[in-house]
Structure 1
Amino acid sequence: MQLTIRELRQTDARAFLEIHHAAVRGSAAHDYSAAVIEAWAPLPITDRSVQRVVSNPDGEHRLIAEIDGLAVGIGALVAKNSELRACYVHPVAGRKGVGSTLLLELERIAVASGLMSLSLDSSLTAEGFYRSRGYVALGYEQHLLSGGVPMACIKMRKVLLSQNS
């Protein structure tokens, strides 16, 4: 098994959404209502949603993880906000180190960008993943999804260690 992490290309936009949707619908469905899942990962994936990924309106730094050339994970960082925006793994690649490897690379990029910490809105599903990697829960909140659908989340934060620490 060869795991590689690389920058997301425009031609990967549909794969980015497919991985996101598979992760949400496959892993998080037991923690959230059908209405939340549909707002979080609406189907079908449209050309408009693909174009939104391509346009990258928030200036996300995006990564894609591949196992033997097959896209299985995505990650995104918004450096200007010190925000970890996404770390999703397709269920077929769960428990193979994809999420951990993506997260480490996003944290490396954050440190190289001069960030001292990262914050995120974790899903209930992913809270344990982030806790085990040094993120601290700051409290339970509501994240607003498309159409104003509220989603329970956990605000989390991690102080990053610089390369020189």
Structure 2
Amino acid sequence: MDNTGRVAAGDAAALPAAGASTGSTDQAIADVEEQFTRLFNQVSTAMRDRASHIHPELQPGGYKLLSTIVRSGPIHAGDLAAMLYTDKSVISRQVRILEDMGFVERQTDPTDRRASFLAATPEAIEKVNEVRAADQANLYRSLRRWGEEDVRRLAELLERLNEVTR
């Protein structure tokens, strides 16, 4: 592997084998891995920017939590932890921060008065929806340059990848 993380042709054999793959297939997979790394770095930067658009002190993890609450509607903390594949204590800490910022409030669960739902405030919903609308506009603007066939192919490949990684 070179200093960029790419697999050199001779190093492909050092990677774990998964079936009968060729060196060129391994290099193609390494190229996909490199593109995912670039994509994840862009997503990380974008999450930081989205969070700061909502509030200058909001961290990316808090934005992820808040946007999930906005998208899902009122939700129990345990369900939120499961949805985000995280520990309930992380949810609890982040919710306290979001409550202090005025973005999340607790609502009593009418079916179990001992439990509560986490709900986004109207201000949070408005701000998250503004950020989402800007992101969606950028995505549409970018992908419209590709043409319908390429966009459909991308959707098919992403669906296939999501099925494999479950």
Q: Is TM (by shorter chain) over 0.5?
A: no
Ranked by relative contact order (alpha carbons within 8 Å, sequence separation 6 or more), the top structure is 1
Which one has a larger percent strand, Structure 1 or Structure 2? 1
TM-score, normalization by structure 2: 0.28
From the two aligned structures, give the one with the greater helix fraction: 2
TM-score w.r.t. length of structure 1: 0.28
Structure number with greater Rg is 2
